[in-house]
Structure 1
């Protein structure tokens, strides 16, 4: 089946945050013209436009692009991924970048959903995270976006060194008071290759303890659901009608197109990933060479296991009959032993027709997936 979702990776940032190990380049806006040419080259390889139900610009920081470049990227994407009626068009944005010109470009392009990489409203916490905005800038960005876009999402990070449970609760309550439509709440991770990983290894950065981090996650669940947001995926909460449909395509095992450095795609059973290095990606594409660094076709049992794990991230879980129809495998023949053990431990609930995480399972979900995938 032809994918109905498309992702465009924009690698540019003003600076790299200490916790980031994504495919980004900081302070290299001189590469933007080549980037736009490379993206157009990739898109033309599609040969014909592909109508989509969701289009997502991620990064990096898409709004780091100057208004003219941002407009060019939007036009290219809409030409080759024409939005179907009701298409969700999402763009990740940095609060410090959202001036009137960029907002005008996004609105004119038909963007329906802006996702703000706010991370916190607290100045001390933002400085630790090495963000380039403060709490008042984030509040202003929310106010500027609200009348222009149908849906407004906000990323928040918890478990930051020096953060208290009360401080985290204050972030959540501020987000609720700001009437955002969607909140993604992530525990701070120390990814190899990031500055924070090096500082933690050297003892210069002390993570919060696991008990406090767990309490912070539970506080997010309690505060956000009490405010009327549905907890629909491990880290994601939405007001009715405001789930991220693009990410739901991933979690439900649907195919998707991907363009740009480090972008992944899943088309006709083949999974590909472009070169993560922006300069390598540009050199290859502008020389007329494929940007693909990795390509694999998962064996049917492996594809089914992966689909199960992604599906279990959703709070509604996985319906047995739907899973069997989509994959050709029964859940029990793939992971029966591990499933029974996790049910006995109270981490999963098995109703007979559906399998889903329990509240206890949500707290340790990442520790479960390895047994399902192997």
Structure 2
């Protein structure tokens, strides 16, 4: 018997079995590697498309057998560049997933796409395959910035792809990267205003960060690239919040903005600490209290599927403290914050042990965090300091 009566002997997992789950499908291939990207993406001269279809279907079937019976509320094709996938492969995976799990009536099926003319030409076929939401990697609305970011498209091509996407898909998101070296407040104001004028219901707006192992990290180490000053980046962040809120697309997560009801349902499952299945190279998942991880390198993943009919590298049980920590770290990214009672119930950690009450009181006095009953949320001013605040308040 557990020494703490709040924690049952069979520890709870991260979501109730009646709750919907999400599916993430990783396509690891890109035409080229962007200098800022630390995602699991790879460039290959040749890809055996049929072998990849079969391997992904096998990995999917294995995961579904272990996590079946629950409604499927979203599918997300990420990468890499999943818009390089033939639409028939996308369709096969959607059909298989909705065969393994009962789909909700409003299932969200998102595919990340690069805005090249070649990929945009596939949008109608992808919509016919079942994709109903596309996330377009515009990244910038200036040609010089696109060259700096290593993107293969220019602004004209990107906006043409956006036009096609908006005519084909019911829901469209696009990404922009700001706080680029040399970008002024006036530069970003003009660029973001242009982006807001396109009328999409969701925007993902990321500050440029220098990730270890990337080409940009090498340039910084060599003194050939100077990132934006932190104070300037903070000013641009505040400018972003003000402009998107005024346009009716406020932030609902630190870098994501949407009109009411247009939030990414798939990502909300992550941030609200629901269960999700992850298949394909390097894909993570959360399944009934287990953290699952697929082999990262495409060839290693393929070999594992050939041997075992799945690409799992590991599946590790998460103890109550791990689950509580993950739920808090993810949930506090959201403007809505977290329900501490729910986190305690899902993780098995007593509510009093989840957060440092003294740290919360201190930071609340500075207007950085707010606790109202069982709900804890980061204030707008605190979002700028989120990485510093989280270790202070999360006690588990």
Q: TM-score, normalised by structure 1?
A: 0.93
CA 1:80 to 1:26, structure 2 compared with 1: closer, same or farther past 3 Å?
farther
Deviation, structure 1 residue 108: 0.9
Q: 2:115 aligns with which of 67, 86, 95?
A: 95
Q: Of 31, 52, 57, which aligns to 1:14?
A: 31
Checking the alignment, whether the CA contact within 8 Å between 1:67 and 1:102 is kept in structure 2 is yes
1:221 equivalent among 222, 241, 248? 241
Which of residues 208, 215, 231 in structure 2 aligns to 1:188? 208
1:291 deviates by 2.2
Equivalent runs, 1:336-347 vs 2, <5 Å: 336=356, 337-347=358-368
**1:356-367 alignment runs, 5 A limit:** 356-367=377-388
CA contact (8 A) 2:90 2:129 kept: no
- CA distance in structure 2 between the partners assigned to 1:189 and 1:288 by the alignment: 38
Measured at CA, do residues 268 and 49 of structure 1 come closer, stay the same or move farther in structure 2, by a change above 3 Å?
A: closer
Q: Which runs of 5+ in 2 are unaligned?
A: 1-15
**CA distance in 2: counterparts of 1:99 and 1:291, whole angstroms:** 28
Moved over 6 A (4+): none
Report the aligned-residue RMSD: 2.1
Give unmatched runs, 5+ long, in structure 1: none
Asked whether the equivalents of residues 15 and 27 of structure 1 are also in contact (C-alpha less than 8 Å), the reply is no
Corresponding residue number in structure 1 for 2:391: 370
What is the TM-score with the length of structure 2 in the denominator? 0.88
The aligned counterpart of 1:210 is: 230
1:24 Cα deviation from its structure 2 partner: 1.0
1:349 aligned partner: 370
SS of structure 1 residue aligned to 2:274: coil
- Partner of residue 253 from structure 1, selected from 273, 294, 309: 273
Q: 2:184 aligns with which of 153, 164, 168?
A: 164
SS of equivalent residue, structure 1 residue 121: coil
Summarize the Cα distance change of 1:289–1:43 in structure 2 as closer, same or farther, 3 Å threshold.
Answer: closer
TM-superposed deviation, 1:349: 1.3
Query: Whole-Å Cα distance in 2 between the matches of residues 361 and 199 of structure 1?
Result: 31
Paired residues for 1:1-374 under 5 Å:
1-2=16-17, 4-45=21-62, 46-47=64-65, 51-81=71-101, 83-97=103-117, 99=119, 101-288=121-308, 290-336=310-356, 337-371=358-392, 372=394
CA distance in 2 between counterparts of 1:171 and 1:97 reads 22
SS of 1:189 mapped into structure 2: coil
Quick one: structure 1 residues 72 and 328, their matched pair in 2 at CA, closer, same or farther if it must change by over 3 Å? closer
